[in-house]
Structure 1
Amino acid sequence: MTTPKLLDTTDKSTAHIKPDGVPIAETILLPGDPLRAKFIAQTYLDDAKCFNEVRNMLGFTGTYQGTPISVMGTGMGIPSISLYTWELIHVFGVKNLIRVGSCGALQEDIELYDVVLAQGASTDSNYLEQFALPGNLALLSSFRLLEAAKRIADDKGQRTHVGNVLSSDIFYSADEQYNQKWAQMGVLTVEMEAAGLFANAAAAGVDALAIFTVSDHLLRGQHASTEERQTAFTQMIEIALGLA
């Protein structure tokens, strides 16, 4: 990937992102939690400056090992990440969007704290209906980013899984067999945002990837503690930052 440049935000703003002239990098990490965006900026970025505080959806731009990179929260669910990524792409010109978050495992060979690289994202969302496609679009990540992330993870000795994830609008399902039905189709994990990101990226012709840390195993009823999540998430973040 070519070195990401800083994008001029002078005279650019939306109802949800107001940089006030602070630049945004062409490559951005997108955790759901704005406080995790702040943690990433404070822990990993040099000379980090806040470019967004609207609705407390914090965004920061700095450098990682000399390379410009931004990080911003997106909130929970496809509607929220889709709103922010549409504006980042179409108003501010972001080219590489990397979701980093947690997920729940649906396969027995996946363990807590493993890293999942989303090759594609299935969904129960109606988000794609707006495009009026004459069929069903397979939502895929950028192979360029995916291949690079897998190489970085392998170099670190990080246990990873690559494949299909589920981006669901439903956190508490009334269907008791909901997770099992997706698991039977080989879906690795469930989360709530990647499909919206991949759809926006596909429509705009930019690159997107989603990287997850397994925080829960939905078939076994296993859950990571808050402290364990924080430690495990740093491995995922370092893979994502390596893409810059």
Structure 2
Amino acid sequence: MATPHIGAEPGDFAKTVLMSGDPLRAKFVAENYLTDVKCVNEIRGMLGYTGKYEGKEVSVMGHGMGIPSICIYTYELYNFFDVDNIIRIGTAGALQDNIRARDLIFAVGAHYDSTYGQQYGLVGCFCPTASYSILERAVNKARERGVRYHVGNVFSTDIFYSDTLDRYARYRDFGTLAAEMETSGLYMNAADAGKNALSILSVSDHLFRKDNITPEERQTTLTDMIEIALQTAVEL
């Protein structure tokens, strides 16, 4: 049934949902890649659609910015709408010297500075990770397409604007590929629900040098990431 944040009914969502921070990217995917499309959510402007890609039912929806936002939507999708797999198609800021704008990053795990995981009462430090079955399929798709990609850990932070890059430099020193704001929350919700998740990230900028794409390009040009996610979804 509908929730305070998703105005859909049981069966409105496919078993696999692609999610982007920007709801207009979800709209772009629905309009340009899916057939037999139905809009299943418009509450708070967080657009969600269900359609078919290569004959397989797939959904796509926005999740907003930051761990609190993505965790509300993914919790409801996993627990109230019977979704099994969520693939985040987002952007990230590169940390390593060998990563360029528009490269793809497949997030194996996600460091974080959020307190979201404290609710679980786990002893020690919880390490949220991707579902390997989805990760392997997606990486193979990238390899087949011949695109530039990197596989490793990312840093999910609650802070977008910061007076210093020192915090990112230390994560860079430990081999972290990029910084973004949602993956750890997605992976925690998936683990808690016993479901599957993967973040595929397109590099939008570099934190330590000038190398970036425009906001318009973030909405409409990240086709490698989108198509790899869709091709992975039809195999799930």
Residue 229 of structure 1 and its aligned partner are, at CA, apart by 4.1
1:94 aligns with 2:57: no
1:161 aligns with 2:166: no
Residues 21 and 200 of structure 1, relative CA distance in 2, 3 Å threshold: closer
Partner of 1:203: 192
Between the aligned partners of 1:62 and 1:242, the Cα distance in structure 2 is: 14
Report the identity percentage: 51
| Alpha-carbon distance, 1:137 to partner | 1.0
Which of these residues, 120, 128, 136, is aligned with residue 109 of structure 2? 120
Closer, same or farther in 2 for the Cα pair 1:176/1:160, shift >3 Å? Answer: closer
1:33-54 deviation digits (Å, cap 9, x = unpaired): 1111111000000011000011
User: Quick one: which of 202, 208, 227 aligns to 1:219?
Assistant: 208
1:5 counterpart residue number: none
After TM superposition, give the deviation of residue 182 of structure 1 in Å: 1.1
Unpaired runs of 5+ residues, structure 2, are none
Shift of 1:221: 2.6
The number of residue pairs the alignment matches comes to 233
For residues 176 and 150 of structure 1, the distance between their equivalents in structure 2, rounded to whole angstroms, comes to 30
Contact 2:13 2:50 in 1 (8 A): yes
Instruction: Tell me how far 1:111 sits from its aligned partner.
Output: 1.0
1:63 aligns with one of 52, 56, 62: 52
How much has 1:77 moved relative to structure 2? 0.2
Which string of whole-angstrom CA distances, capped at 9 and with x for unpartnered residues, describes residues 73-117 of structure 1?
000000000000000000011000000011100000111110000
1:225 shift after superposition: 2.9
Query: Per-residue deviation at 1:175?
Result: 3.5
SS at match of 1:153: helix
Residue 187, structure 1, aligned to residue 155, structure 2: no
Other structure's SS at 1:174 match: coil
Q: Distance in 2 between matches of 1:21 and 1:144?
A: 26
Instruction: Please report how far the alpha carbon of residue 172 of structure 1 lies from its aligned counterpart in structure 2 after TM superposition.
Output: 1.0
Matched with 2:65 is: 76
Distance in 2 (alpha carbons) for counterparts of 1:171 and 1:118: 19
TM-score norm. by structure 2 comes to 0.95
Report the secondary structure of 2:36's partner residue: strand
**Which segments of 5 or more consecutive residues in structure 1 lack a partner in the other structure?**
1-11
- TM-score normalised by structure 1 residue count: 0.92
Whole-Å separation in 1 of the counterparts to 2:147 and 2:220: 13
Equivalent of 1:39 in 28, 44, 48? 28
RMSD: 1.3
Q: Who is 1:151 aligned against? A: 140
Range moving further from structure 2, 19-28 or 117-126: 19-28
Paired residue secondary structure (2:49): strand
Structure 1 stretches of 4+ moved >2 Å: 225-232
Give the partner amino acid of 1:127. Answer: Y
Q: Which amino acid aligns with 1:41?
A: A
